[in-house]
Amino acid sequence: MDFSTLIQILDSTLRLATPLLLACLAGLFSERSGIFDIGLEAKMLVAAFFSAAFAYSTGSVWIGLLAGIAASMVFALIHGVASITFRGNQLISGVALNFLASGMTVLVAQSWFQQGGRTPSLIGGARFEPITLPFADAVRDVPFLGPLYSDLLSGHSILVYVALLAVPATWWVLYRTRFGLRLRAVGENPAAVDTAGVSVIGLRFAAIGIAGLLCGIAGAYLATGLQAGFVKDMTAGRGYIALAALIFAKWRPWYALGACLLFGLLQALSLRTDVVDAIFPFKMPVQLLDSLPYILTVVILAGFVGKAIPPRAGGTPYVKER
């Protein structure tokens, strides 16, 4: 395997890891506040559809992005009303949203565009074009670092950089702000937060709102950045892989980046059977690479490599003492 092949694989890794990373951070905010969220898939899917639909109708990808975020926030709000306000089961609400998104997007797409549950292909300004970072062309010929910068880091759509910047931002919000301290506290011991006179419900709604925002960006990236349009069920289980990455990362932002890049790398490797055959001395089935994220997560959960302890108040609705 030569250097340029390595760059190609890492390039693919970055593209595949971006939606995982955004969804993973969304889950991180939500679960850190004590709300389990298996509806990441649903939020990404509605965002993918509405971003593609509005980008096509208006010709502007930015309006599409806003529409995608709005749709994802609406789904987050439904999850919030069901599981925070009415104290319903968070897992059931998430599953219900997943089904709703899968059916609703196709139905709306069919009655809107009559293309078998797809949106028409996006062209021109209705898509996120790759952007070239400054000096990318100038430093291309520098050995080693040049290709690393101009082929690997440069040339992605802007949402990739947004996702990468979201990691330090999440770290800063969670660990360096008052809001973050309260958010982490509400996921561990909501009664203590309530005693301190801070609204548990308000904090949890804020957390799932942020989750909605991040999932919205992830969905818009799938439909308008990586692809040029919506296809039914196009998230293809990425929301669940993001959840696995969240557990793998033990609910920490920087670890989340590492986990998502690792899972992205495994996915990217499974696309290159020629490279896989060259690396491993034996015949490595690509299906094994595809399932490695889940296997690794089970290993972590079983406690073989450190311990994954979820936020203590996760999954239980908060009931104020009377």
Partner 1 sequence: MTFMRSILGAAATLALVAGTAAADPAIIFDLGGKFDKSFNESAYRGAKRWAEAHAGTFKEIEMQSEAQREQALRRLAESGANPVVMTGFAFGNVLNEVAPDYPDTSFAIIDMVVDQPNVRSVVFSEHEGSFLVGMLAANASKSGTVGFIGGMDIPLIRKFACGYAQGVKAVNPDAKIVSNMTGTTPAAWNDPVKGSELTKAQISQGADVVFAAAGGTGVGVLQAAADGGILSIGVDSNQNHLHAGMVLTSMVKRVDNAVEKAFTDGPGFETGVMVMGVGNGGVGFAMDENNGPIVDANWKMAADEAAEKIASGELVVHDYMADNVCPALQF
Burial pattern 76-88, b for ≥16 Cβ within 10 A else e, equals bebbbebbbeeee
User: Which among 82, 84, 81 is positioned nearest to 92, based on CA atoms?
Assistant: 82
Of 26-34, 151-159, 167-175, 226-234, the window that binds partner 1 (rule: CB under 8 A) is 226-234
Considering beta carbons, is residue 271 or 305 the nearer one to partner 1? Answer: 271
Distance, CA of 77 to chain centre? 18
- Would you count residue 132 as binding partner 1 (CB under 8 A)? no
CB contact set of 165 (below 8 Å; sequence gap of 6+)? none
Q: Which span (8-16, 212-220, 250-258, 303-311) binds partner 1, by CB under 8 A? A: 8-16
Total of residues contacting partner 1 (CB under 8 A): 32
Question: Collapsing DSSP states into helix, strand and coil, what is residue 174?
Answer: helix
Positions 260 through 279 that interact with partner 1 (CB under 8 A): 267-268, 271-274
- Residue 229 or 311: the one with the smaller Cβ distance to partner 1 is 229
In the complex, what is the shortest distance from the CB of residue 164 to partner 1, in angstroms, rounded to a whole number?
A: 18
Residue type, 48: A
* Contacting residues for 10 by C-beta, under 8 A, at least 6 apart: 152, 265, 268
Is 95 among the residues that bind partner 1 (CB under 8 A)? no
What's the CA gap between 47 and 207, in Å, rounded?
18
Question: CB under 8 A: which stretch of 116-124, 203-211, 301-309, 313-321 binds partner 1?
Answer: 116-124
The residue ranges that bind partner 1 (CB under 8 A) are 5, 8, 12, 15-16, 19, 110, 114-118, 121, 222, 226-229, 231-234, 236-237, 267-268, 271-274, 287, 290
